[in-house]
Amino acid sequence: MTDPVCGMAVEPARAPAKRRHGGREFFFCAPGCAVRFDKDPAGFASGTRGREPMTSSPPSPFLRPGKTLPLFGAPASRKSAGATVPASSPPPLPRMPRRERGETLTLSLDGMHCASCVSTIEQALARVPGVREASVNLGTARASVRGENLKAATLIEAVEASGYAARADSDPSGGEDERRARTAQRSVLRRTAASAALTLPVVLLSMSGIRFAGRDVLLLALTLPVYFWAGWPFLSGMVRTLRHRTANMDTLVGLGTTAAVLLSAAGTVFPSKFAAAGAAGHVYYEAVGVIITLVLLGRWLETRARGRTSAAIRKLLDLAPKTARLIRKGVELEVPLSEVSVGDRLAVKPGDAVPVDGIVRSGSSAIDESMVTGESLPAEKRAGDRVIGGTLNQQGAVEIEATAVGSDTALAHIVRLVHEAQATKPPIQKLADRIAGVFVPVVLGIGTVAWVAWYVFGPEPRALFATVALASVLLIACPCALGLATPTAILVGTGRGADAGILFRNAQALERAKSVTAVLLDKTGTVTEGRPRLTDRVRLARSSDAELLGLAAALEKSSAHPLAGALLAAAVEKGIPLPAVSSFESRTGRGVVGTADGKRVLVGNAALLQEEGVDISEVSEDADRFAAEGKTPLLVAAEGRVLGVLVVADREKSGSAEAIRRLRTQGLRVILLTGDREATARAIAARVGIDEVFADVLPADKASKVVELQRRGDVVAMVGDGVNDAPALAQADVGIAIGAGADVAIEASDVTLVGGDLRSVPDAIALSRDTLGTIRQNLFFAFGYNVLGIPIAAGLLYPFTGWMLSPMLASAAMAASSVSVVANSLRLARRRG
């Protein structure tokens, strides 16, 4: 059947609404369609209306003609979700007016099935007084309502009147989900408290040894509410899973407590039969109460602790402010973040968080980017520099132009990357997963075998001991510890990484990083800053700073050589004016020759000056010394006489030497990889503490160097920053992209370091080792616990020692096991990171 209004397929038996018209029955996908049908039954029934969900609806009051209504999956962005302007409509219409500062309310909707529902609800909402605009997104099942003096209750009423359910949703980013989770948590806590309160007298009475007529009946009466009400989650879970032919913790706890209750109730109702079997007074009411209380408590603790495992990600999400200061026609306006779009100008005041990714257009400031890049020193930002949303502006005020908003921002990328990594499983989890998949049925089998064994071979009263052993086995077994061992550690580990600007692409990368034996460091941009700077200068007495640097910089200004930028920047920084250049010639491999300030100027290596007949004896020693240090000396001459030497070099990053020292302490082989000549490479390597160097490596050969190491049995981590490192990053066992900054979508790498500090590399390896260590401990504990606990609970030790575990102890051990696994994972977050 099809819905005559929206044309959607409807199953008559499950249709939420139906109508009879003209002797035919019509079924609707949702009540809203039925409401629409009622307005023109003849039209819809004859098919002259309908089937085209959108055009059939009367134009809604707040939509201009020419707009299309939201289709499913249309981006939930902006306030008029999905309402798009066809490309053909000339000049792009301005988006919804921004000056209106009316409030926005978000509702969560239920019962929507088709686009027709969307327009029904939108119209219902638009009719509410005060509403200026309402838009419904089918994809997110949310309505966004804008206007003045809005009351959630009135809006909900309007939605409900049109046949749907709605509830207020103040925070569309999932706050509702969190609220529900909290409600569920509170209900667990309530059950735990009630269960404890009812169990306490049972325990006291049972242990006191006081006996009176009807004692057991009183205990039964106190225990039943615990079993049925407090234990309801287990009982209902047991029934639900068994119906699905699956089994989980609920099944085990439900069956275990049921066995204990049935046994005790039988003893209470038929005491004579129990006495006859030598089992008089064997009731386990206190055990039932304590078990349910403990398992509930364990569950509450576990959920709480697990909530904390993703705290790092939540912290990242909270970095972005909720509002931005939009500058429109010179006026500053505070608007919700969702209303900022690319190209908007935004003001960022001192102390503000940068709202979105952007480029500084005016002003300058220091911005603390540590939360995103992990770098502790604030970065200086001035016009033209990129800023990252979520970072903290310190003193200056800047105006930025938004370059990425919403899910396109660096922060959103980071969160997405981390989320994706957290969804993956490291190979180490495979076995645990296979076991968890069959765990509960196998435990039920072991329980059965234990019951039979006790019944056949056990001491009298056999049936009693057999049932107690069965209950103990069911209660001590804990698949949760197995299931939680890896994911919780991965959550905490990747979260701690994200906190420090270290993003693991997946769990496999996290696992592999711990077994790395050799680290290949690309030189430029990784160990060094990747930007040559003027580092030293030798000036002869006959010249001045202004002359030396001014002439050289003026000439180099016309050159595209990377070294030129260094001279230019130095001149600008020192405020040295650049004289006019009247001629310019570049001599490949030698330098530049030209006329500046009316003088013939040479800037280049010794060969250039000698060719031109300039005597360089005064500076040649200095030049050689700098060259030996791996720097580039530029000799400057004017009118045939040497003025001095400008030394340009790509400096090591401040943390490089420390990073390399730490990598070596971690037992790793560290190798510098560069296209520089051997001597230059050696000089730099020596300064940062590396002894192994691969020099003269063409970009295309970097990957083959990785292969070379891998052939010799090394597990290689390659650290690089540039596009030309991509093949090597992909070839390496662990490719680490460094300094990705805002551009975190580096496909070839396994690990992305958002900041540029090389110290993040030893941090990443330490994090990997820590996380894998925690996973191993967790798995060892979870396996060991079950492998030891289940046989003991089954009574395997009884023939030798006479030990038999009480179901109460079994459940305490079970509750403790999963909590301790989560707690162990949480310890990861507290280590130095």
Partner 1 sequence: MTLTVAWTADRIAAIALGAAFLAFLYVYFFRAHRREGVAAPAAVAGTAEQEATITVSGGYDPEVVVAKKGVPLTLVFDRRESSPCSDEVVLPEFGIRQSLAPNAKTRIRVVPERSGEFPFACGMNMLHGLLRVED
Pull the structure tokens for residue 55.
């055009």
Tell me how far apart the alpha carbons of residues 156 and 96 are, in angstroms, rounded to a whole number.
Answer: 24
For partner 1, the closer CB: 481 or 534: 481
Catalytic: 522? yes
Binding part of the chain for partner 1, among 172-180, 277-285, 566-574, 787-795 by CB under 8 A, reads 172-180
Interface residue with partner 1 among 12, 59, 66, 73 (CB under 8 A) is: 73
For partner 1, the closer CB: 456 or 541: 456
The residue to which tokens 């006859």 are assigned: 276
For partner 1, the closer CB: 456 or 698: 456
Q: Which of 522, 650, 733, 763 is catalytic?
A: 522
Shortest CB 240 distance to partner 1, Å = 3
For partner 1, the closer CB: 224 or 453: 453
Residue 302 binds partner 1 (CB under 8 A):
yes
Shortest CB 421 distance to partner 1, Å = 8
Count interface residues toward partner 1 (CB under 8 A). 78
Residue 81 binds partner 1 (CB under 8 A):
no
355-394 positions binding partner 1, by CB under 8 A: none
- Concatenate the DSSP letters of all residues of 523-589 into one string: IIIIIEEEEEEEEEEEE-TTS-HHHHHHHHHHHHTT---HHHHHHHHHHHHHTPPPPPEEEEEEETT
For partner 1, the closer CB: 84 or 620: 84
Residue 607 binds partner 1 (CB under 8 A):
no
For partner 1, the closer CB: 339 or 511: 511
Site string for partner 1, 126-165 (x = CB under 8 A): ------------xxxx------------------------
Shortest CB 160 distance to partner 1, Å = 18
Q: Quick one: how far is CA 180 from the chain centroid?
A: 21
CB 753 within 8 A of CB 501: yes
Pull the structure tokens for residue 146.
């804008």
Shortest CB 195 distance to partner 1, Å = 16
436-455 positions binding partner 1, by CB under 8 A: 436-441, 444-445, 448-449, 451-452, 455
Pull the structure tokens for residue 634.
């530029």
Pairing of strands 692-694, 591-596: unpaired
584, with CB counted inside 10 A (0-12, 13-18, 19+), is middle
Site string for partner 1, 6-35 (x = CB under 8 A): xxxx--------------------------
For 748-768, what is the HEC assignment? Answer: CCCEEECCCCCCHHHHHHHHH
Which residues are within 8 A (CB) of 92 and not within 5 positions of it... i.e. 6 or more apart? 85
Shortest CB 25 distance to partner 1, Å = 19
Residue 412 binds partner 1 (CB under 8 A):
no
| Cα-based angle 331, 337, 343 (whole degrees, multiple of 5) | 60
Shortest CB 65 distance to partner 1, Å = 21
Binding part of the chain for partner 1, among 420-428, 530-538, 716-724, 801-809 by CB under 8 A, reads 420-428
Residue 479 binds partner 1 (CB under 8 A):
yes
Shortest CB 778 distance to partner 1, Å = 13
- Concatenate the DSSP letters of all residues of 207-252 into one string: HH----TTHHHHHHHHHHHIIIIITHHHHHHHHHHHHTT---HHHH
CB 718 within 8 A of CB 732: yes
For partner 1, the closer CB: 18 or 425: 425
Pull the structure tokens for residue 454.
């006790």
705-744 positions binding partner 1, by CB under 8 A: none
Binding part of the chain for partner 1, among 180-188, 198-206, 273-281, 759-767 by CB under 8 A, reads 180-188
The residue to which tokens 């013939």 are assigned: 600
- Sign (positive or negative) of CA dihedral 283, 289, 294, 295: positive
Residue 75 binds partner 1 (CB under 8 A):
no
For partner 1, the closer CB: 497 or 755: 497
Residue 433 binds partner 1 (CB under 8 A):
yes
Interface residue with partner 1 among 39, 55, 72, 362 (CB under 8 A) is: 72
Shortest CB 623 distance to partner 1, Å = 55
For partner 1, the closer CB: 248 or 391: 248
SS3 469: helix
Residue 187 binds partner 1 (CB under 8 A):
yes
Long-range contacts of 416-419 (CB under 8 A, 24+ apart): 417/503, 417/505, 417/744, 417/752, 418/313, 418/316, 418/494, 418/495, 418/497, 418/498, 418/503, 418/504, 419/313
Interface residue with partner 1 among 278, 281, 427, 799 (CB under 8 A) is: 799
Residue 582 binds partner 1 (CB under 8 A):
no
Interface residue with partner 1 among 266, 473, 482, 509 (CB under 8 A) is: 482
What DSSP state is assigned to residue 151? -
For partner 1, the closer CB: 321 or 461: 461
Which residues are within 8 A (CB) of 178 and not within 5 positions of it... i.e. 6 or more apart? none
271-300 positions binding partner 1, by CB under 8 A: 299
Shortest CB 501 distance to partner 1, Å = 21
Residue 304 binds partner 1 (CB under 8 A):
no
The residue to which tokens 């990784």 are assigned: 526
Q: Where are the alpha helices (DSSP H) in 653-794?
A: 656-665, 678-688, 702-711, 726-731, 760-794
502-561 positions binding partner 1, by CB under 8 A: 506
Tell me how far apart the alpha carbons of residues 436 and 248 are, in angstroms, rounded to a whole number.
Answer: 9
Interface residue with partner 1 among 21, 35, 41, 71 (CB under 8 A) is: 71
Residue 176 binds partner 1 (CB under 8 A):
yes
CB 107 within 8 A of CB 166: yes
Interface residue with partner 1 among 78, 425, 651, 664 (CB under 8 A) is: 425
Shortest CB 432 distance to partner 1, Å = 8
Enumerate helices (H) and strands (E) in the chain, giving the number of each.
28, 28
219-258 positions binding partner 1, by CB under 8 A: 233, 236-237, 239-250
39-68 positions binding partner 1, by CB under 8 A: 52-53
End-to-end C-alpha distance for the chain, whole angstroms: 60
List active site positions: 522
